[in-house]
Amino acid sequence: MSDISSLSQLLRQSGGQVRFFDMGRRVQKLSTEQFEKIENQQTPYPYPYLQHAWIALMIWNPKNKEQGAAWFLKLPLDEQGFLIQAVRDDLLSRLLKNAGGILQHEKTGEMPEDALKDNPFSFKPDQEKMALFHAYSTLASSEPASQYYEHAEQYFAGQIGFDNWQSLGYQGIADLVVRHEKNKNSKLLTKAVPLLPDVPFEVLCTCIESIEPDHQLFEALSLRAEQTLERGTASANHIAAITRGISNARNTPRKQEIINKILQSDYALEAEVIVSIATRCHETLQEPATLHLFLEKLAIGSAGQAGFSRVLSDLMFMPALRALILMQFRNEQRSEALSQAIGEMFGANFK
């Protein structure tokens, strides 16, 4: 055990199969190679959220897939986005105290359920992300989807009526979305998007943010977004959900166009909407005009000064955005409201 110097080594010696997922802004896969480079400080964490790496590990016995465990780790990052080695070493030390159970996995086929008990680096995902993690986990291990999958499939196919959504299970929707490339599910969802009532549509969008929708599904979401913005009667929560639904699509001019339309609307003054853009669509903010509009709306929006400072602190943690944001801060065309918000955040003498 004393020869183990990394989490990757510990997991390899357990004899179990491992899959890694990021659980921060959305649920998305991390490769084993990515995780090892992150752990060894060879690359910064690709998806930082609130200055932390939010990582899920799915661990199972290849001889018996029913015997496994899920670990959820919240690890602080340094100012450059790298995993702090002292934290990794502390976590490894704590896990090695349970290594007897972990390293016996290959012999006994059992994984220790309490490996992270009382561990300061563990966290409990919310119900939404747990459903998506479970959907990805069963797909990765070639296990069947949940018992709610078939009902969700029937609902989005229009077989039980789109108004009869009350009995839908979130897990079933997550299973259907994560399996979007199977059984023509993506086509099924694309046809359903313009017909769905608000509530199931919003839930669908919060699941779609964790996949990369194909062109047809993205276009259906974009058309609904435009029609909703034109009517101007939707709630801020609904617009935030739409933003999340298109957020993981490829960053095309069409996607940039939709985000700009949202930012040009009064909806962008609502905290739910501006935060959904900041946390899910941050790559669109690399366009200077979009970033300028975003900052102006954030400065005068309902999130207030506390929200302005919190959102900007998170965005400036991303190397691709930090320099661009600082350039906008020095933009002579910025409004008085934005100048005042910057002064409140950094001090009146900010240059």
Question: What's the average pLDDT block by block, 10 residues per block, for the chain (351 residues)?
Answer: 77 83 95 94 92 92 73 93 92 78 50 68 94 94 93 97 95 97 94 98 98 97 97 97 97 95 98 97 96 97 96 90 93 94 78 49
Residues 41, 73, single domain; the answer is yes
Determine which helix (DSSP H) or strand (DSSP E) holds 344, and give its type and residue range: helix 336-346
Cross-strand bridge partners of residue 49: 52
Domain finish residue from 108, 143, 164:
108
What's the confidence (pLDDT) of residue 61? 75
Q: Which of 210, 226, 255 is the last residue of a domain?
A: 210
Q: Residue 140 domain-assigned? A: yes
Domain hosting 94: range is 7-108
What is the number of domains present in the chain? 2
pLDDT of residue 144: 93
Check if the beta carbon of residue 242 is closer than 8 Å to that of residue 259. Answer: no
* Shared domain check, 70 and 37: yes
**Angstrom distance (rounded) from CA 153 to CA 181:** 13
Instruction: Note whether residue 85 is domain-resident.
Output: yes
Structure confidence at residue 112 (pLDDT): 54
- Asked whether residue 85 falls in the same domain as residue 140, the answer is no
CA dist., res. 74 & res. 34, Å (int)? 17
Burial zone of 265 (CB within 10 Å; 0-12 exposed, 13-18 middle, 19+ buried): middle
How high is the pLDDT of residue 2?
54
Asked if 198 and 150 sit in the same domain, the reply is: yes
What pLDDT sits at residue 177? 98
Answer yes or no: is 262 within a domain: no
Cα–Cα distance measured from residue 104 to residue 126, given in angstroms and rounded to the nearest whole number:
31
Residue 81, in any domain of the structure: yes
How many of the other CB atoms lie within 10 Å of CB of 159? 10
Reduced to 3 states (helix: H, G, I; strand: E, B; else coil), residue 19 is strand
Helix/strand/coil for 194: helix
Q: Is residue 175 assigned to a domain?
A: yes
pTM for this structure?
0.90
Other beta carbons within 10 angstroms of residue 123's beta carbon come to 17
Do residue 102 and residue 76 come from a single domain? yes
Helix (H, G, I), strand (E, B) or coil at 68: strand
The C-alpha torsion from 12 through 13 and 17 to 20, rounded to 10°, is -40
pLDDT computed for residue 307 by the predictor: 96
User: Measuring CA to CA, how many Å separate 217 from each of 99, 166, 192, 230?
Assistant: 46, 24, 10, 20
From residue 16, alpha-carbon distances to 44, 63, 289 in Å are 26, 9, 49
**Amino acid 109: pLDDT:** 44
Which residue, 9, 19, 12, 16, is CA-closest to 40?
A: 9
Instruction: Please say whether the beta carbons of 165 and 198 come within 8 A.
Output: no
